[in-house]
């Protein structure tokens, strides 16, 4: 929301002081709104958008008003703001993810969070944080899945996985069934959710863009530009400006990865073979 307001002002080549003076606001008020440190009322938002030439009947006006109203409501992730304060990018990402209409996720070494079983998530997370924090992170991860499942309509979800994701025996020392069960869960998701696709890039493809690491691109209906999230075990980096060249590059790369990967049907067959070998 705040990034869109900054973009609209910059497109008009307006300075914050000029806009604030025209609206009889203090410059600090606009700075706080654009910085996301305070919310904005519907009345103030309408006045601001009119300064940028957005008419009341413009769909962009309605969309941004809807976003402003949503921003004033506490999302489910707000309950974890204290626990996740050390990773503000991840906390912000949870809010964007919940409102996305399309979710594109590439997984290089580990199963994307939205596909993980609880046992897999615990076995993975406890490798790099304390058991207490791991339990909290897993709880958040399961809630992410649950809340997206409750949405109507459900967001489109496309996942591309490197073959290493489905072959690595995460949790084997704890319970050898963790990984086979994770892969069975993956197949169940494919079968039961028509809006969700899973494709695997086989080892034989060789080097590809996804070898830079896990990433997610979120897309939205209306005016809000796409969001890019680069993920690692210790946290993530969030980019929220839809015109950022990095987002364009990653979005394009994801589509190339989908074309490089096996089809969903062939990916399913490969996953079934891997399960059979795991016993």
Which CATH number belongs to the domain containing residue 245 in this structure? 3.30.870
Q: Which residue has the higher pLDDT, 62 or 257?
A: 257
Same domain for 80 and 34, yes or no, is no
Same domain for 226 and 91, yes or no, is yes
**Hey, what are 59's tokens?**
């769909």
Domain-terminating residue out of 29, 46, 72: 72
Which CATH number belongs to the domain containing residue 33 in this structure? 1.10.260.40
Same domain for 54 and 131, yes or no, is no
What pLDDT digit, counting tens, does each position of 181-227 carry? 999 999 999 999 999 999 999 999 999 999 999 999 999 876 567 88
Residues in the chain: 279
Same domain for 127 and 187, yes or no, is yes
Same domain for 119 and 226, yes or no, is yes
Domain-terminating residue out of 43, 72, 101: 72
Name the band, by pLDDT with cuts 50, 70 and 90, for residue 37: low
Distance of CA 196 to the CA centre of its chain: 15
Residue 99: give the domain boundaries. Answer: 76-278
Q: 78 vs 12, 75, 92, 111, CA distance in Å?
A: 34, 5, 10, 25
Give the pLDDT score at 70.
58
What pLDDT digit, counting tens, does each position of 140-151 carry? 999 999 999 998
- What phi and psi, each to the nearest 5 degrees, are found at residue 107? -120, 125
Query: Structure pTM?
Result: 0.77
Same domain for 50 and 173, yes or no, is no
What pLDDT digit, counting tens, does each position of 225-234 carry? 788 999 865 5
What is the number of structural domains in the chain?
2
Angle at the Cα of 198 (from 196 to 203), degrees rounded to 5? 170
Same domain for 62 and 181, yes or no, is no
Domain-terminating residue out of 21, 52, 72: 72
Name the band, by pLDDT with cuts 50, 70 and 90, for residue 58: confident
């Amino acid at each position: 929301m705040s990034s869109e307001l900054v973009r609209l002002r910059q497109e008009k080549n307006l300075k914050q002081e000029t806009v604030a003076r025209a609206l009889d606001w203090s410059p600090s008020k606009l700075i706080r709104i654009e910085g996301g440190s305070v919310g904005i009322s519907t009345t103030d938002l309408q006045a601001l958008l009119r300064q940028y030439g957005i008419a009341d009947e413009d769909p962009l006006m309605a969309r941004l008003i809807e976003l402003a109203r949503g921003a004033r409501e506490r999302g489910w992730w707000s309950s974890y703001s204290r626990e996740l304060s050390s990773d503000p990018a991840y906390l912000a990402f949870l809010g964007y993810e919940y409102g996305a209409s399309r979710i594109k996720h590439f997984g290089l070494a580990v199963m994307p969070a939205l596909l993980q079983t609880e046992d897999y998530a615990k076995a993975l997370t406890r490798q790099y944080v304390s058991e207490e924090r791991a339990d909290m992170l897993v709880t958040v991860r399961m809630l992410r899945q649950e809340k997206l499942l409750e949405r109507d309509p459900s967001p489109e979800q496309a996942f591309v996985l490197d073959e290493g994701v489905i072959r690595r025996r995460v949790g084997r020392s704890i319970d050898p069934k963790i990984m086979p069960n994770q892969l069975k869960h993956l197949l169940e998701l494919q079968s039961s959710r028509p809006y969700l696709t899973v494709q695997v890039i086989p080892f034989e493809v060789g080097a590809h863009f996804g070898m830079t690491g896990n990433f997610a691109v979120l897309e939205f209906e209306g005016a809000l530009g796409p969001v890019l999230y680069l993920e690692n075990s210790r946290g993530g980096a969030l980019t929220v400006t839809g015109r950022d060249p990095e987002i364009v590059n990653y979005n394009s790369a994801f589509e190339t990865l989908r074309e490089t990967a096996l089809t969903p049907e062939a990916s399913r067959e490969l996953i079934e073979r891997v399960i059979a070998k795991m016993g």
